[in-house]
Amino acid sequence: MPSTLVIGGGPAGLAAAWAAVQSGDAVTLLDDNPALGGQIWRGEIPARYRRFLDPRITIRTGVQIHSATQLPKADRIILATGTRERFLPFPGWTLPHVLGAGGLQAMVKSGLPIAGKRVVVAGAGPLLLAVAAYLRKRGAKIVLVAEQAPYQRVSRFTQSLWRTPGKLLQAAQLALGLRYRTDAWPLRADPGSVTIQGHGVLPCDYLACGFGLVTNTELPELLGCRVDTGAVITDSKQRTTVPHIHFAGAGSVDRSILEGQIAGFDLERARALYPARDAAVRFDRRIDEAFQLRSELSTLATPETIICRCEDVPFSAVWQQRDWRSAKLQTRCGMGPCQGRICGPALEHLCGWPAASVRPPIFPTRLENLLDLRD
Ligand X SMILES: Cc1cc2nc3c(=O)[nH]c(=O)nc-3n(C[C@H](O)[C@H](O)[C@H](O)COP(=O)(O)OP(=O)(O)OC[C@H]3O[C@@H](n4cnc5c(N)ncnc54)[C@H](O)[C@@H]3O)c2cc1C
Residue 117 DSSP label? -
Residue number with CB closer to ligand X (327 or 355): 355
Residues in contact with ligand X, shown as a per-residue x/- string from 126 to 165 under the rule CB under 6 A: -x--x-----------------------------------
- Give the torsion through C-alpha atoms of 306, 311, 316, 322, to 10 deg: -130
Evaluate whether 230 touches 214 at the Cβ level (below 8 Å).
yes
Residue 90 DSSP label? -
Residue number with CB closer to ligand X (21 or 65): 65
| Residue 253 within binding range of ligand X, rule CB under 6 A | yes
CA distances from 97 to 314, 318, 337 (A): 20, 26, 21
Beta strands at 141-147 and 180-181: parallel, antiparallel or unpaired? parallel
| 174-193 residues near ligand X, rule: CB under 6 A | none
Residue 281 Cβ, how far from ligand X at the closest point, in Å?
13
Residue 181 Cβ, how far from ligand X at the closest point, in Å?
21
* HSE-up (13 A, CA, CB side) for residue 206: 29
Choose the stretch contacting ligand X; rule: CB under 6 A; options: 82-90, 91-99, 261-269, 301-309: 82-90
Residue number with CB closer to ligand X (40 or 308): 40
| Residue 40 within binding range of ligand X, rule CB under 6 A | yes
Return the residue of 19, 78, 121, 219 that touches ligand X, per CB under 6 A.
219
Residue number with CB closer to ligand X (103 or 230): 103
Q: What share of the chain is helix, strand, coil (3-state, %, to 5)?
A: 35, 20, 45
CA distance 74 to 244: 9
Residue 361 Cβ, how far from ligand X at the closest point, in Å?
10
Residue 2 Cβ, how far from ligand X at the closest point, in Å?
22
Size of the site for ligand X (CB under 6 A): 36
Residues in contact with ligand X, shown as a per-residue x/- string from 46 to 65 under the rule CB under 6 A: ------------------xx
Residue 216 Cβ, how far from ligand X at the closest point, in Å?
5
Residue 150 DSSP label? -
Residue number with CB closer to ligand X (17 or 350): 17
Return the residue of 20, 57, 74, 80 that touches ligand X, per CB under 6 A.
80
Residue 108 Cβ, how far from ligand X at the closest point, in Å?
11
Residues in contact with ligand X, shown as a per-residue x/- string from 84 to 123 under the rule CB under 6 A: xx----------------xx-xx-----------------
Q: Count other C-beta atoms under 10 Å from residue 151's C-beta.
A: 12
Task: Name the burial class of residue 194, with classes exposed (0-12), middle (13-18) and buried (19+) by CB atoms within 10 angstroms of its CB.
Answer: buried
Residue 131 Cβ, how far from ligand X at the closest point, in Å?
6
E-strand stretches of 151-288: 180-181, 186-190, 193-196, 200-203, 206-211, 213-215, 227-228, 231-232, 245-247
Residue number with CB closer to ligand X (196 or 258): 258
| Residue 216 within binding range of ligand X, rule CB under 6 A | yes
Q: How many residues does the chain have?
A: 375
Task: Name the burial class of residue 166, with classes exposed (0-12), middle (13-18) and buried (19+) by CB atoms within 10 angstroms of its CB.
Answer: exposed
| 255-314 residues near ligand X, rule: CB under 6 A | 256
CA distance 313 to 343: 10
> Cα(first)–Cα(last) distance of the chain, in Å?
24
Return the residue of 4, 6, 13, 93 that touches ligand X, per CB under 6 A.
13
| Residue 125 within binding range of ligand X, rule CB under 6 A | no
| Residue 39 within binding range of ligand X, rule CB under 6 A | yes
Beta strands at 231-232 and 118-124: parallel, antiparallel or unpaired? unpaired
Which residues of this protein are in contact with ligand X, per CB under 6 A?
A: 7-13, 30-33, 38-40, 64-65, 80-85, 102-103, 105-106, 127, 130, 213, 216, 219, 249-250, 252-253, 256
